[in-house]
A and B are shown apart, each in its own frame.
Chain A
Amino acid sequence: SQKIEQNSEALNIQEGKTATLTCNYTNYSPAYLQWYRQDPGRGPVFLLLIRENEKEKRKERLKVTFDTTLKQSLFHITASQPADSATYLCALVTGPGSARQLTFGSGTQLTVLP
């Protein structure tokens, strides 16, 4: 069956360290993969998109890798801050043409401790 798994429901790290979140998928062949951030009581906010032929994408303190052989994406936040505390969701873009849709993982709740 198709599955998207994100590492451990909760991740606590110390301020200033690098947070690494994992997204593994099975029985999907995504053309794109996206990462979102969600704060309590709010809708997800788009962070980064990476295509299947891209190995790495960066945006400020954020870095995403995409390994289609391992069927895995890693999401890194460097020099983490308490304001980075939130739930992070990975989403796969699957399906053909106009039937493409985003399928989300269950999320990882990140807490950055001061």
Chain B
Amino acid sequence: KAGVTQTPRYLIKTRGQQVTLSCSPISGHRSVSWYQQTPGQGLQFLFEYFSETQRNKGNFPGRFSGRQFSNSRSEMNVSTLELGDSALYLCASSLEGGNEKLFFGSGTQLSVL
């Protein structure tokens, strides 16, 4: 069974631009969560999608948004990029979410110049 796939692996953008990151969960998994990881803040929860609906949201500004498609694939979007958005963005999937273990992708390393 293929693992969680995130694309692209690396991305370089400039301030003010927007970016879209993609995540394909493990087949059969309906819950997809997104995390931001930085050296200073560690892993911070962005949001979770389940059956195309956002079920949970962390404390991030509205510039961060996401969606989930009927095949459970998910995208997250960051608009008006700031230097502080430079981070490793990780996607994780599970069957139903909640207290289940998460399966993480390798992440997208975003650098904002």
Q: Does B87 belong to the interface (CB within 8 Å)?
A: no
Q: Does A114 belong to the interface (CB within 8 Å)?
A: no
The docked-state distance in angstroms from the alpha carbon of A107 to that of B92 is: 18
Those of A61-80 within 8 Å (CB) of chain B: none
* Total contacting residues, chain B, CB less than 8 A: 23
Residues of A with C-beta under 8 A to B97: 98, 100
Grouping DSSP codes into helix (H, G, I), strand (E, B) and loop, the A interface class, with mixed when no group exceeds half, is mixed
Map CB proximity to B onto A23-35 as digits: 1 under 8 Å, 0 otherwise: 0000000011010
Residues of B with C-beta under 8 A to A31: 99
Residues of A with C-beta under 8 A to B103: 46
In the complex with contacts A43-B4, A43-B90, A102-B45, A32-B105 CB distance below 8 A? no
The docked-state distance in angstroms from the alpha carbon of A107 to that of B44 is: 12
B56–A104 contact, CB under 8 A? no
Interface residue from A98, A99, A105 paired with B42 (Cβ < 8 Å): A105
Q: Does B75 belong to the interface (CB within 8 Å)?
A: no
Those of B72-113 within 8 Å (CB) of chain A: 90, 92, 97-99, 101-107
B99–A93 contact, CB under 8 A? yes
Residues of B with C-beta under 8 A to A106: 42
Query: Contacts A98-B50, A101-B33, A104-B35 given; 5 further ones with Cβ under 8 A?
Result: A31-B99, A34-B101, A45-B104, A89-B43, A107-B42
